[in-house]
Structure 1
Amino acid sequence: QTLLNWASAFGTQEMVEFLCERGADVNRGQRSSSLHYAACFGRPQVAKTLLRHGANPDLRDEDGKTPLDKARERGHSEVVAILQSPGDWMCPVNKGDDKKKKDTNKDEEECNEPKGDPEMAPIYLKRLLPVFAQTFQQT
């Protein structure tokens, strides 16, 4: 599995954001995508972040299940609500069209809002990223 898969299940919101901003593939995974892990472990904020960074909510895991299926199975109602309307959380692709820009202004603002405590992110990363990297290398 990828480091982003692991962070989506067990890491902080800041870790997921850090990895996504540095180009981690949100749709990659040996058995499941990062969005599947966020859904399985009931991580609504992580699910929103992954969707903002292009996660495909229609991907199926090795059992043929979508992230929505996984969230429903485990009773994670907040994640279910997010995944039932994933477009509400995805950033618009076409930002050049003025009409579209007016319609998506709220979405763009939401995508640019700060995530978590900006002062804590470097501390988390300094202390936890080496642990995650080592865990990832051992699996």
Structure 2
Amino acid sequence: MRIHRCRRWPRPLGRLLLLCLLAVVVPACSASAGTADVRLRDAATRGDADAVRVALEDGADLESRDGQGRTALLLATHGNNVDAARELIEAGADVNAKDAMQDSAYLYAGARGLDDILALTLAHGADLRSTNRYGGTALIPAAERGHVATVRTLLRAGVAVDHVNRLHWTALLEAILLGDGSPRHVQIVQLLLDAGANPELADGDGVTPLAHARRRGYTQMEALLRRAGARR
């Protein structure tokens, strides 16, 4: 009885066929993954949570970045797209991943008063000590821009109240220097002082919060600072 053996390709030819196959399959797989990454970022930008989910199911990389270093989560945060941001965060997106501008989803949400996304980042590992391109925590721009609820949230989370940025300003100084003296900024000054902000911690030129408030005619802030112990 004759036994027919399977025909084997000569080794050099077999290797050649394998290389050809890899040359076709590998780029196709890479292109597919790359397309999914683009779709993920586009869905995040549009705030389409369902499309975000589909892109992830198709193998999109949660931490893929665009030309400015922005992840899908940061793009969703820029648009205050809460549902898309939640989908990404619950899938494991890094809330502390920074772009070329040194913004992260956590820092941007804090600075812009995007409280729903901020709460999500705080619940998923936000680094309270991380800083922006000015060397400031999320608390400092939140105080400057008058985001009362955001300031309260960040203080409760434990962000350092007297952190000094590269401009030599604290959250208290920025609320006075860059605020408009409105009731919301007065309330922020009160919140900061209640949280233990040093009322006499001066700027890089040695000018104190009290002196800045006096120069600007912010009498309510001046009164709060004096009540907190400011003398100069």
Return the letter of the residue paired with 1:34: A
Identity %: 37
Q: 2:162 aligns with which of 27, 41, 61?
A: 27
Does residue 193 of structure 2 align to residue 51 of structure 1? yes
Give the alignment's Cα RMSD to 1 decimal: 1.2
Q: Secondary structure at the match of 1:18?
A: helix
| Mapped contact 1:16–1:46 kept (Cα < 8 A) | yes
| Mapped contact 1:2–1:28 kept (Cα < 8 A) | yes
Q: Secondary structure at the match of 1:55?
A: coil
Give, in angstroms, the shift of residue 65 of structure 1. 1.1
Q: Find the counterpart in structure 2 of residue 10 from structure 1.
A: 145
Structure 1 Cα separation of the partners of residues 214 and 170 of structure 2: 16
Return the letter of the residue paired with 1:3: A
Structure 2 Cα separation of the partners of residues 80 and 72 of structure 1: 6
Q: Find the counterpart in structure 2 of residue 72 from structure 1.
A: 214
Task: Give TM-score scaled by structure 2 length.
Answer: 0.36
How many corresponding residue pairs?
87
- After superposition, residues 79-90 of structure 1 pair within 5 angstroms as 79-86=221-228
Structure 1 Cα separation of the partners of residues 226 and 144 of structure 2: 20
* Structure 2: tracts of 5 or more residues without a match: 1-135
Give, in angstroms, the shift of residue 8 of structure 1. 0.7
Q: 4+ residue runs of structure 1 moved beyond 6 angstroms?
A: none
Return the letter of the residue paired with 1:32: W
Give, in angstroms, the shift of residue 26 of structure 1. 0.7
| Mapped contact 1:39–1:68 kept (Cα < 8 A) | no
| Mapped contact 2:146–2:175 kept (Cα < 8 A) | no
Which has more radius of gyration?
A: 2
Return the letter of the residue paired with 2:198: N
Structure 2 Cα separation of the partners of residues 11 and 57 of structure 1: 19
Give, in angstroms, the shift of residue 55 of structure 1. 0.4
Give, in angstroms, the shift of residue 39 of structure 1. 2.0
